[in-house]
Amino acid sequence: MAGASVNRVVSPGPLHCLKVILEKEGPRSLFRGLGPNLVGVAPSRAIYFAAYSNCKEKLNGVFDPDSTQVHMISAAMAGIYCTFLPRKE
């Protein structure tokens, strides 16, 4: 098969895709599905920040107040708490 040509497909860039979506479906289509996503994420973030704040208050008495150690350990503990929080599924 000497001299066989290969057709290469060039993928359009993200800006071209955005332009096509805006032309065909309108600007509202970019936000479709945002509401249900926020409903799912908001409680999880609220639990995370409550756990972070709670842990930070307790650790401020153990380490230097508002030190890097306090922030890092509080963030780790809040992440662990949210990861292993019992869920009913």
8 Å CB contact between 41 and 56: no
Q: Which residue ranges of the chain lie beneath pLDDT 50?
A: none
Q: Which residue has the tokens 């860039």?
A: 13
8 Å CB contact between 46 and 78: no
By the 10 Å C-beta count (0-12 exposed, 13-18 middle, 19+ buried), 48 is classed as middle
Domain residue limits at 17: 12-82
Q: What's the confidence (pLDDT) of residue 2?
A: 63
Does residue 61 sit within a domain? yes
Does residue 4 sit within a domain? no
Does residue 39 sit within a domain? yes
Does residue 18 sit within a domain? yes
Does residue 35 sit within a domain? yes
Does residue 5 sit within a domain? no
Q: How many domains are contained in the chain?
A: 1
**Exposure class string for 50-62: b at 16+ Cβ within 10 A, else e:** ebbeebbeebeee
Q: What's the confidence (pLDDT) of residue 65?
A: 92
Does residue 72 sit within a domain? yes
